Amino acid sequence: MTWLEIDTWIVVIAILCAVSCSLLGNFLVLRKMSMMGDAISHAVLPGLAVAFILTETRASFTMFVGAAIVGLLTALFTQWVHSFGKVDGGAAMGVVFTSLFAIGLILIKAGADHVDLDANCVLYGSIELAPLDKIQILGWDLPRAAFVMGLILILNMVFVGVFFKELRISSFDPDLATTLGINAQLMHYLLMAMVAITTVAAFEAIGSILVIAMLIVPAAAAHLLTDRLLHMILASAVFAAISAGLGHLSAITLPRIIGFEDTNTAGMIATMSGVLFAFVVILAPRYGILSKALHRLALNLRILREDILGLLYRVDELKLVDRPAMTYRQLREALNTGPIQLQLALRRLRRSGRLKVTSRGYELEEPGRKRAQQIIRSHRLWETYLAEHFALPLDHIHAPAERVEHFIDQQMQDDLALETSTPTSDPHGKVIPPTTNS
Amino acid sequence: MAKIDSDKEDVPVQLNASSLAPAPDMSRRIATGDEHPVCPLSIHDMTVAYHRKPVLWDIDLDMPEGKLIGIVGPNGAGKSTLIKACLDLIPKASGLVSYYGKPYSKQRGLVGYVPQRESVDWDFPVSALDVVAMGRYGKIGWCRPVSKAHKKAAFDALDRVGLADYAKRQISQLSGGQQQRVFLARALAQEAKVYFMDEPFAAVDAATEKAIVQILHDLKSTGRTTLVVHHDLQTVREYFDWVVLLNMRIVAAGPVEEVFSQENLQKTYGGKLTLLDQAAQAMAGIKQ
């Protein structure tokens, strides 16, 4: 792999585009209008085409104005079709942006054919060539795309920074915002205008598909990672930058490895953001699949431990022998559980001093007995409560209590006792032991 | 009273005045009268329609100051619509609403709002304190950050509803009752004089219900006027001084002991208003 100056510029431009998009994307995702970015990025095409036909230059100021206007019109038309046509919001958006995009395509074909604005370029961009188009800024040779996107990034940062409070409240609770004098509609259209401008600036370099990806994916990932809006915005920017960097890196390395000649950087950036997103979905600390699975596993183990204690307590209650014990095999059969879970649960119970192993098998230690008594108490109080308040036959109250007993804390247990006027035996006639927490 | 009925002339379907108007109108006039030259909330001849279908007809109300006012009525009676129209959140087909004699746009700072809990996304990445601080945004003004003093005010409001310990929690990590209290704290942070609350008692736990009742009494004792959309008829007498019985029109409005009668409830919830509904359907072009 050889890293050239042009590679550096490609990465810089990609990062500027990705971060610019991701900043605004947070608010699209939070307002549950992610597809609005999609709609606007397609719908601005007629705006571009008209501006193009009028001025015959690309990236002119008129082009931005044209795009911003059509971007706003997209949001406005969508709103109109939705409210006047009584059409579902998503459908309204679909109608509006496909129509506008088609008009744009026709305009390009018909009017702007002699200049190089082609539909493919709009969709996929041409970031590999972007660094070659240079302009002089203060005696510095700068790729035009880097300069434009730098400005857009600053613009977006200022927009999000200055209107942070207003964006937050109008995204969270537009009605309240409006009653406080922060017009949520105005903020909505301001945001749409910013999305339109950013989209236009970015998609010459990276193409509209990647623009859509960068508007949505980093923000969606950041939402899974954080609990604060500011953190979410920062995390989305970092995510976008990493996707851009990794995307180009993999675009110039991966194809050789798997035997292709070359590939498209924009495509790889979008792919990378998808891969990173998958990682986040699996690994996110609170909302990730892995963390949820671990929590479930920990919960199941706790329930198993409590069931072991409860089982030994009940055997003891029968007073068949003086100091009852159960062998590993007996426990496994009674609890109907897998060997790994049971081993884990037993080891933990022994280490915490709740269980001991004697020649006859597993026996309750005093702390274990106390804990077991609490669980049995909760179980039987719950049965009493169910029997008193609901028309359940007696043989239907054990199973629900078996589940609920593990989730009853001291407070709830006291409330239950109060509610059932502190009974001494459960509906099956079994003794409800007193609480061991005093 | 005569005025209201004469306004009905242009409505295509003749309203059955005998079943609707006389009793409620009288109680309304007696209760409010002219002894409040500038009342906190005055609604004059307001009609609200969705897609030409009227959902609120000719609402005339003068709210007394410093009272707890319950708004009750069946589903679809237009209770939330009444609040939203008063707050300029939905357009009025006709009518005027004024707060202390001036339109809402001039009195925003005096009016607080507690929307229904389900109206927002509780997965939104903000803390309880962030949400309460939103109540201060009107006072802070555009584009300025939330200062320490405003944060302190928000925290104090959170403390008043018993959630000081939960200030930093992300809002989805709160129970339903706690979320409702966060909304209430946000309204307190607004430091308004007139409050609208849309079903604050809906599906809350006992602790929250107690906290809300306490807050309502505090608001009353400091001279605030509070309008609460309420579902539980059992507790109307206990919680409120005043009640508005609403079913597309105002069936009755006045002090609870005067208007919260079996007869008025029958009118509000009973089948006698079907004519009104038929008229609304006809105006929306729906054939029956």
Q: In the prediction, which pLDDT does A43 show?
A: 87
Confirm if A354 and A364 have CB atoms less than 8 A apart. yes
**How close, in Å, is residue B167 to chain A by CA atoms?**
13
Hey, of A83, A176, A226, which one would you mutate to test binding to chain B, going by the most B CBs within 10 A of its CB?
A176
**How close, in Å, is residue A110 to chain B by CA atoms?**
41
Which residues from chain A sit within 8 angstroms of residue B51, using beta carbons? Answer: 86
Q: What stretches in chain B show pLDDT beneath 50?
A: 1-36
Which residues from chain B sit within 8 angstroms of residue A232, using beta carbons? Answer: 125
Q: In the prediction, which pLDDT does B23 show?
A: 38
Report CB contact under 8 Å: A229, B125: yes
Q: Which candidate from A32, A169, A228 shows the least CB-CB separation from B125? A: A228
Q: How far is CA A223 from the centre of its chain?
A: 5
Q: Which two tokens stand for residue A358?
A: 């004697």
Report CB contact under 8 Å: A182, B142: yes
Q: Which candidate from A162, A172, A178 shows the least CB-CB separation from B124? A: A172
Confirm if A381 and A417 have CB atoms less than 8 A apart. yes
Nearest chain B alpha carbon to A29: B124
Confirm if A248 and A10 have CB atoms less than 8 A apart. yes
Q: In the prediction, which pLDDT does A295 show?
A: 94
**How close, in Å, is residue B148 to chain A by CA atoms?**
15
**How close, in Å, is residue A230 to chain B by CA atoms?**
9
Which residues from chain B sit within 8 angstroms of residue A178, using beta carbons? Answer: 87-89
* CATH classification code of A292-364: 1.10.10
Which residues from chain B sit within 8 angstroms of residue A182, using beta carbons? Answer: 137-138, 142
**How close, in Å, is residue B134 to chain A by CA atoms?**
7
Give the start-end residues of each E strand in chain B: 41-50, 53-63, 68-72, 94-99, 102-103, 111-114, 194-198, 225-229, 242-247, 249-255
| Residues β-bridged to residue B228 | B70, B197
Say if strands B41-50 and A134-137 run parallel, antiparallel, or are unpaired.
Answer: unpaired
Interface residue ranges in chain A relative to chain B, Cβ cutoff 8 Å = 30, 32, 86, 162-166, 168-169, 171-173, 175-182, 223, 226-229, 231-232
- How many angstroms separate the first and last alpha carbons of chain B? 31
Q: What stretches in chain A show pLDDT beneath 50?
A: none
What's the complex ipTM? 0.84
**How close, in Å, is residue B143 to chain A by CA atoms?**
5
Report CB contact under 8 Å: A169, B144: no
Which residues from chain A sit within 8 angstroms of residue B151, using beta carbons? Answer: none
Question: Residue A170, exposed/middle/buried by CB under 10 A (0-12, 13-18, 19+)?
Answer: buried
Q: Which candidate from B111, B120, B144 shows the least CB-CB separation from A173? A: B120
Q: In the prediction, which pLDDT does A261 show?
A: 65
Residue bearing tokens 């506008």: A100
Report CB contact under 8 Å: B170, A166: no
Hey, of B143, B146, B150, which one would you mutate to test binding to chain A, going by the most A CBs within 10 A of its CB?
B143
Which residues from chain B sit within 8 angstroms of residue A229, using beta carbons? Answer: 124-126, 130
Report CB contact under 8 Å: B137, A172: no
Superfamily classification of domain A5-215: ABC transporter involved in vitamin B12 uptake, BtuC (1.10.3470.10)
Q: How many CB atoms are closer than 10 A to CB B179? A: 22
Question: Residue A430, exposed/middle/buried by CB under 10 A (0-12, 13-18, 19+)?
Answer: middle
Sign of the dihedral through C-alpha A92, A97, A98, A103: positive
Say if strands B242-247 and B249-255 run parallel, antiparallel, or are unpaired.
Answer: antiparallel
Q: In the prediction, which pLDDT does B194 show?
A: 96
Residue bearing tokens 């919830």: B269
* A271: enclosing H helix or E strand: helix A265-283
Report CB contact under 8 Å: B142, A166: yes
Confirm if B83 and B56 have CB atoms less than 8 A apart. no
Hey, of B50, B89, B188, which one would you mutate to test binding to chain A, going by the most A CBs within 10 A of its CB?
B89
Report CB contact under 8 Å: A173, B119: yes
Report CB contact under 8 Å: B145, A165: yes
Report CB contact under 8 Å: A228, B89: no
Interface residue ranges in chain B relative to chain A, Cβ cutoff 8 Å = 51, 84, 87-89, 108, 111, 113, 115, 119-121, 124-127, 130-131, 134, 137-138, 140, 142-146, 170, 186, 190
Report CB contact under 8 Å: B145, A169: no
Q: Which candidate from B125, B137, B170 shows the least CB-CB separation from A165? A: B137
Confirm if A211 and A25 have CB atoms less than 8 A apart. no
> Hey, do A5-215 and A292-364 end up sharing a CATH topology, with the first three levels equal?
no
Rg of the Cα atoms in chain A: 32
Report CB contact under 8 Å: B119, A229: no
Which residues from chain A sit within 8 angstroms of residue B143, using beta carbons? Answer: 162-163, 165-166
Residues B110, A350: Cα–Cα separation, whole Å: 64
Q: In the prediction, which pLDDT does A38 show?
A: 86
Q: Which candidate from B108, B145, B146 shows the least CB-CB separation from A181? A: B108
- Residue among B159, B284, B222 nearest A86 (CA): B284
**How close, in Å, is residue B238 to chain A by CA atoms?**
25
Which residues from chain B sit within 8 angstroms of residue A184, using beta carbons? Answer: none
Nearest chain B alpha carbon to A164: B143
Report CB contact under 8 Å: A169, B134: yes
Rounded to 5°, the CA angle A399-A405-A408 comes to: 145
Nearest chain B alpha carbon to A158: B143
pTM, 2 dp: 0.85
Which residues from chain A sit within 8 angstroms of residue B125, using beta carbons? Answer: 30, 223, 226-229, 231-232
* Domain residue limits, chain A: 5-215, 292-364
Residues B202, B57: Cα–Cα separation, whole Å: 26
Sign of the dihedral through C-alpha B227, B232, B235, B236: positive
Which residues from chain A sit within 8 angstroms of residue B190, using beta carbons? Answer: 180
Q: In the prediction, which pLDDT does A423 show?
A: 87
Q: Which candidate from A32, A180, A228 shows the least CB-CB separation from B137? A: A180
Q: Which candidate from B108, B115, B170 shows the least CB-CB separation from A173? A: B115
- Residue among A275, A267, A262 nearest A218 (CA): A275
Q: In the prediction, which pLDDT does B243 show?
A: 96
Q: Which candidate from B84, B108, B143 shows the least CB-CB separation from A162? A: B143
Q: In the prediction, which pLDDT does B8 show?
A: 38
Q: How many CB atoms are closer than 10 A to CB A109? A: 12
Sign of the dihedral through C-alpha B32, B38, B42, B45: positive
Sign of the dihedral through C-alpha B247, B251, B256, B257: negative
